[in-house]
Amino acid sequence: MTTSAQRDGFTSTLGVLAATLGSAVGLGNIWKFPALTGANGGAGFLLVYLFATLLVGLPVMIAEITLGRRARANPIAALKGMAPGRPWWLVGVSGMVAAFMIMAFYSEVVAWVFAYVWKSLEGSALSSDAAVTEGAFAALVASPWQSLIWQWVVLLLIGGILLRGVARGIEAVTKRLMPLLFLLLAALCVFSLTLDGAREGLAFLFSPDFSRVNAGVVLTAVGLAFFKMSIGMGTMMTYGSYFRADQNIPQTAARVMCADLAVSLLAGIAIFPAVFTFGFEPTAGPSLVFITLPAVFAQLPFGQGLMFVFFVLTSIAAIGAMLSLLEVPVLVLHERLGMKRSNAIAVCVLIVGVLGAGCALSMNLLADWRVQGRNLFDLMDFLSSNVLLPLGGILIALFTGWVWGRDAFSRAVSNEGSLDNRRLAGGLVLILRYVSPLLIFIVMLNGLGFI
Ligand code: PFF
């Protein structure tokens, strides 16, 4: 087993920020967040989302990172070590299962994004007629080989980066990619704001409509905060185990939360003015990214170039998220089963390859294979987002608040007393004990259709 002295880890504050932000920023910012904001009351939803991130997202994120750093180990070993003889380590196991399930469908969507980087270079899939762009996307999804090949391109790239390790792989890559992402996004925003539909697009995103904020919308916001901030499954615990001892965890987590929110808002500012300029419906999910946007780009000056920039940007966002997802089981296999890191990566890539192939094929050859009306792709999405992540979130909050306890948590979060944040730690413990678990519990019941 690796000792902490030899353990790989992040080397600089900037590197920590880039890697953690890289995990939070992902496909969720581009297609989920802006569309959900627009559809659920604009600024009203933003306010609710802000509360959800402050009351649930941020506390659980801080708890996860702090647990990981204290244990300096993978989530299973961390929880085993901190509560010996008790079953809390199963939270780590469920996180690992969730990581595989998310990667199975997420890697497929990333595969489509990569395919569209290629298509934008070729100039194919670009047409002002939405029926044509729909046909191009349907053709990609319907072709088993294309989906599988692009999925393997994604997996080999992510596996290759992880092979270089934490500092030279994850940190080095995200440190370069994150600034580029902001730059490209800012450029697209400036361009989009010059279009005729700018006012309408901004109004869709920001004009407050509090009448639409009901219980369902609150629950949507909490669920989104979970997925967005990569919490509830040990990802942040894994990254926390690579944090330096002098890193200010609450400050880092708050910065990540704000920067992630900024990316989501900028994505909305880049997308919706353009969508409204050409009279399209502001849809959500794959149809927004792969059908509506190519039709929008086709009508813009430099459309092909803009489409290329957009899909490169989306790929960058997805790479950081995929790195963090794959790192969770890789670290477990490496540390707990004593596998060489390279072998652990190979095994995990293979597993995701097989599960991912199932998801890719569930769109074509295996389309008839369904559980309660859901194909494999939707099933993985549903089970991970609606069951495993919220369950993990509740348990991590309860573990930190009640089992690990106030004093130990305060010591760890204050870097053994060198940071003066005793009151903040006390407030966090209260939230983790009572507020977050209760809120998440309600979200979960909603996700499973009980309320
Ligand atoms: N936060 C990522 C996104 O918004 O796309 C998704 C994600 C990444 C979820 C990593 C969970 C995770 F562990």
Structure tokens at 99: 């990581």
The per-residue pLDDT for 378 is 85
Asked if 238 contacts 396 with a C-beta cutoff of 8 angstroms, the reply is no
End-to-end CA distance of the chain: 46
384 Cβ closer than 6 Å to some ligand 1 atom: no
User: In testing the pocket of ligand 1, which one of 36, 227, 313 has its CB within 8 Å of the most ligand atoms?
Assistant: 227
The whole-angstrom distance between residue 75's C-alpha and the CA centroid of its chain comes to 18
pLDDT tens track for 58-113: 999 999 999 999 999 999 999 999 999 999 999 999 999 999 999 999 999 999 99
What length does the chain have? 451
CATH of 13-447, one of 3.90.1690, 1.10.287, 1.10.4160, 1.10.3210: 1.10.4160
Give me the numbers of helices (H) and strands (E) for the chain, helices first please: 23, 0
Residue 435: is it exposed, middle or buried by C-beta count within 10 angstroms (0-12/13-18/19+)? Answer: middle
Q: Which two tokens stand for residue 75?
A: 């989530």
Alpha carbon separation from 155 to 68, 96, 142 (Å, rounded): 26, 17, 20
Which residue's CA lies nearest to atom 13 of ligand 1? 230
Residue of 374, 189, 208, 369 lying closest to 263 (CA atoms): 189
Contact present, 250 and 421 (Cβ < 8 Å): yes
Tokens (6 digits) for 95: 């996180």
Residues β-bridged to residue 371: 374
> What is the residue extent of each domain of the chain?
13-447
Report the nearest atom of ligand 1 relative to the CA of 235.
Answer: 13
| Arithmetic mean of pLDDT over the chain | 93
Q: How far is the CA of 326 from the CAs of 102, 224, 321, 348, 353, in angstroms? A: 10, 21, 9, 7, 12
Helix residue ranges per DSSP H, 143-209:
144-163, 172-193, 198-206
- Which residues lie below 8 Å from residue 362, measured CB to CB, with a gap of 6+? 369, 375, 376, 377
Instruction: State whether the beta carbon of 10 lies less than 6 angstroms from ligand 1.
Output: no
| pLDDT attached to residue 216 | 79
> How far does the centroid of ligand 1 lie from the alpha carbon of residue 26, in Å?
6
Q: What angle do CA 111, 24, 225 make, to 5 degrees?
A: 110
Q: What are 340-369's pLDDT values in tens digits?
A: 999 999 999 999 999 999 998 888 888 888
Return the amino acid letter for 174: T
- Measured in angstroms, how far is the CA atom of residue 226 from the centroid of ligand 1? 8
What does the pLDDT average to over 138-153? 92
Residue 36 buriedness (CB in 10 A; 0-12 / 13-18 / 19+): buried
Residue 350 Cα distances to 39, 77, 103, 182, angstroms: 38, 23, 12, 32
pLDDT at 5 over 70: no
Which residue type, as a one-letter code, is found at position 131?
A: A
**In the predicted structure, residue 3 carries a pLDDT above the cut 80:** no
Among 12, 50, 70, 10, which residue's Cα sits nearest to residue 415? 70
pLDDT in tens, 386-397: 889 989 999 999
Ligand 1 centroid from CA 416, angstroms: 30
pLDDT at 26 over 90: yes
Count CB neighbours of 84 within 10 A.
Answer: 9
In angstroms, the CA 449 to CA 451 distance is: 6
User: What are the C-alpha distances in Å from 97 to residues 304, 326, 332?
Assistant: 39, 11, 12
Nearest ligand 1 atom to the CA of 24 is 1
What are the φ/ψ torsions at residue 231 (nearest 5 degrees)? -115, 165
> Which tokens go with 443?
């979200």
The CA distance from 210 to 222, in Å, is: 17
Q: What is the pLDDT of residues 168-215, one digit of tens each?
A: 999 999 999 999 999 999 999 999 999 999 999 999 889 888 888 888
* Contact (CB, 8 A) for 19 and 10: yes
Q: How far is the CA of 328 from the centre of ligand 1 (A)?
A: 12
Q: Determine if ligand 1 sits within 6 Å of the CB of residue 110.
A: no
The mean pLDDT value for 21-49 works out to: 91
| Cα gap 113→364, rounded to integer Å | 18
Q: 74 CB less than 6 Å from ligand 1?
A: no
CB 20 less than 6 A from any atom of ligand 1: no
Query: Which tokens in the block code for residue 134?
Result: 């729909």
**Which are the contacts of 395, defined by CB distance < 8 A and separation ≥ 6?**
88, 91
DSSP-assigned beta bridge partners for residue 25: none
Q: Tens of pLDDT along 222-276?
A: 888 989 999 999 999 999 999 999 999 999 999 999 999 999 999 999 999 998 9
Indicate if ligand 1 lies below 6 Å from the C-beta of 233.
yes
Q: Nearest to residue 439, comparing CAs of 262, 138, 223, 249? A: 223
Please say if the pLDDT value at position 121 is more than 80. Answer: yes
- Ligand 1 near 100 CB (within 6 A): no
232: left (phi over 0), alpha (psi -120 to 50) or beta: left
**Cα dist from 442 to 64, 224, 424, 450, whole Å:** 21, 14, 25, 9
